Chains A and B, each alone.
Chain A
């Protein structure tokens, strides 16, 4: 399978990927490397992982990172309640300490969290580590070990090696600078806002019901809106919401009804000052230019 095949396959699933992104994804697959995706919110970083899972017909295992994420939530945790009960029961049966210990620190008592689950599947899953920049630096270091060795050491149980190597996709919004060590272990792709043609293709793939004329107006409008000085620039996800909202309200032409257009802007503008900045007159003017 060449990268153009991958691009076609992704497109059939409704994900229109740029050449840069497809080549990076293709290399990540063939070279068994993690892929680090950076870019603004809502440009389809997370969506790529779920499209890949659908494409390969495998499980998507997702680890959402947040500040304070630790091994217990990301890798594994012992089932303490069950362990306690077992110890008590064993004490009444007169079982020896050693055999109890062997029993309660076995796989049966282990709660798998995403990272451990990802390396112990039968078929290689897609492992999505979302917003890695939100996790602490200590966790990033731990992640590095797993990404390079594909094995996890549990003190009581020994080392668990990967039965299959998952397809690893990391995403980052750039709220913190990632370490060089992590960056160099991954292939890298920057996902930018799409150009007009690409966005139109995405819109058509995702919302097949949109009329050609309205579709062009929507894309033109959003593209022009991105050029404005906004606090939160709308991503593709917002464009799609906008299109669905317009269809739901039965608006066939953006320039027709400025009031209705203003109502639907809630799907594109997500802060109060952006809302105040794009007044009905400004919105009308942008829509007029986009048409």
Chain B
């Protein structure tokens, strides 16, 4: 197996080199097909390809498709054509492999962007720990390691199958009649002119049979944010199974984990192999069971992902106990920002099921005014029982 990471001096010609470059980009996670290679060659003919800057701009327009890829592109271009990335790539890769060995899942790691996984996992986890609890740092780290190994034992495939059913029911409960497009229907509220005219041809232009159309129901999109900090560890089994089930049953849903950081796990959980999906999630949930910074995590979510994935047709579901180590006004501001995107916010708190529970935790108290629904949930059955309340939203 040979990885193409740089410009090869002995290639037969420019076409082969461009092909090599496309392979290099694919290796680094850009989704490109054969037709893009063709297009790239055509594009290079249109600019002065002997100047690196011009080629860079031309290839950038052809090969990238979103902001993240643009940000990535310059480095990839330099590493291949200008031979600048070879040494760097080796350095990045070594710790990534070491890291995987600890979790016995090097196979999943290869599916990910190799350099990304290494650099994101290692240093960040350390920092998060240092921030969260000053005194118990060593202990916290040990707990974290244990949890990482446990994550797959924690969530069993049977649970996920059950959770899938629950998630499907919740999705069905969240229907919305806001579509402006109309489709043909037997009992619609408007005339379907196109069909009526067609039908009237048979009766000499007399519209005897009136056909109708109506606005179809549209499902809400669920965006789930799950707290996996230390205080939530006992409930993690239920919630992680629920997230996995949600991802499987609803192709539009979106999932995130947060503790002191925020990670998007949607792609990982969509993996067809259930166990591998959980494995990938545990790699990403580095810092699982550590401190919780709900406010800053949600603020980060509102500033970044929410701008792309949350709109007026989304339901943001926060699964957390509300014990926040950050000041409550951060959480307050984050939820206010999120609310401005027009979404509904549901907070499911496992502690609410307790007798005499009152939302006294400062974070929870700050969040309450922004919530559309505040409910308890600590088992899958509780989650399933939510569908009536969700319909009422």
Contact = CB atoms under 8 A, between A and B. Distances in A.
A91 B205 contact: yes
Nearest to A89: B205
Size range of the chain A interface in the assembly: 35 or more
B180 interface: yes
Given A33-B39, A80-B194, A174-B308, A23 B61 contact: yes
Contacts of A174: 67, 307-308
Given A19-B57, A20-B60, A91 B197 contact: no
A176 B311 contact: yes
Contacts of A69: 181
B interface: dominant SS: helix
A190 B307 CA distance: 16
Interface string A173-195: 01111001001101111100000
B65 A180 contact: yes
A30 interface: yes
A27 B46 contact: yes
Given A70-B181, A84-B197, A31 B39 contact: yes
Residue of B60, B179, B307 with most partner-chain A CB within 10 A? B60
A97 B202 CA distance: 8
B70 interface: yes
Interface in A80-107: 80, 83-84, 87-88, 90-91, 97, 100-101, 104
Interface residues of B, number: 39
Contacts of B91: none
Given A80-B193, A176-B311, A190 B70 contact: yes
Given A26-B46, A176-B311, A87 B204 contact: yes
A188 B65 contact: yes
Contacts of B64: 188
Nearest to A175: B311
Contact of A100 (B36, B179, B181, B201): B201
A188 B60 CA distance: 8
Interface in A148-182: 174-177, 180
Interface of B: 31-33, 36, 39, 42-43, 46-48, 53-54, 57-58, 60-62, 64-67, 70, 179-181, 193-194, 197, 200-202, 204-205, 207, 307-309, 311, 337
Interface of A: 2-3, 19-20, 23-24, 26-28, 30-31, 33, 36, 38, 66-70, 78, 80, 83-84, 87-88, 90-91, 97, 100-101, 104, 136, 174-177, 180, 183-184, 186-190, 231
30 contacts: A2-B47, A19-B53, A23-B47, A23-B54, A23-B57, A23-B60, A26-B47, A27-B47, A27-B58, A33-B39, A36-B65, A66-B180, A78-B193, A80-B193, A80-B194, A84-B205, A87-B200, A87-B204, A88-B205, A90-B205, A100-B201, A136-B181, A174-B307, A177-B308, A177-B309, A180-B31, A184-B33, A184-B65, A187-B62, A188-B66
